[in-house]
Every structure is written in structure tokens, then in C-alpha cells.
Amino acid sequence: MIERVLVATDGSEMAERALEYALEVHPDAEITVLYVAGEPSPMMGRALEMALEDDIEEVAREQAEPIFESARELAAERGVDIDTTVDVGSPAKSIVDRAENFDAVVLGSHGGDLRSRLLMGNVAERVVRGSPVPVTVVR
């Protein structure tokens, strides 16, 4: 039985569909929505990266909040409470690392714009290949 579901989001329509799917298929599961902000560029330099580390996490939380608010509203329409969490780093790695604590992962097949489609498609593929638990990719 699936008791804990991780739903990855980037705020795109596909990510919203993934959450809708998780809420519909796993109505009694504990659902956690994860937003992963990309990590700083390796070109930035370690000193600058360290100086900005706290700010990066705060910015990531600020970016995620409207996405989480939308997710909470969608879940509330179905009478479900969800948990939310933010990571900074590689989206695929963050999702795979967190998947160890869940029974299943649900994510969209790609993001909204062309860049996001390519990136999220790549993320979805890497999560499917690396996840220790079943992954559902929603189109």
C-alpha cells in the first residue's frame, strides 16, 4: 500500500497535473510537494557561492511559495492537506535522494516553456532511472 507520495513541482501545468493525479489516485496517502531551485553555477566561484548560500535558500523558499499556495488550494478542494518542502540543488538528484523516504514519486513529464520542457524531461528521465521507489510520470 502506498502511504507516502512525493510530488515534484516546478510550477508548470504538467506539475499541476502530476499533483492532481497523486491526489486522485492516492487520496489517503500523505503527500509532500517538493520544489527544487537550481544550484548556483560552478562558474560563480566558491567564495561567492558560500556568501550567498543563505540568501539562495531564502530566495528558493520565496520562489516556491506561490507554487505551494496553488498546490495547497488544489489539495484543499479535495479535502486533503499536503506537506511542502524546498531543496536547492540538482532537481533530479534532490528528488531521487528524497524518494528513499516515500513509497512513490509523481512528477510531470516536462515543464511549460521549451527550456523547461527539455530540462524537466531530462529530470523525469533521470528520476525514473535513479529512483529507489516506483515513479509515475504524468503527461
Q: Which three cell numbers stand for residue 117?
A: 520542457
Of residues 122 and 136, more confidently modeled: 136
* pLDDT tens digits along 14-59: 999 999 999 999 999 999 999 999 765 555 555 555 556 667 888 8
Residue 30 — φ and ψ, nearest 5°?
-80, 120
Report in angstroms the alpha-carbon separations of 52 from 38, 56, 59. 14, 6, 10
Cell numbers describing residue 120? 524537466
Q: Mean pLDDT, to the nearest integer, of 52-70? A: 87
Burial 83-117 (b: 16+ CB within 10 A, else e): ebebbbeebbbbbbebbeebbbbbbbbbbbeeebb
Domains and CATH numbers, the chain: 4-138 (3.40.50.620)
User: How does DSSP classify residue 3?
Assistant: -
Q: What is the pLDDT of residue 96?
A: 98
User: Per residue in 89-109, pLDDT tens?
Assistant: 999 999 999 999 999 999 998
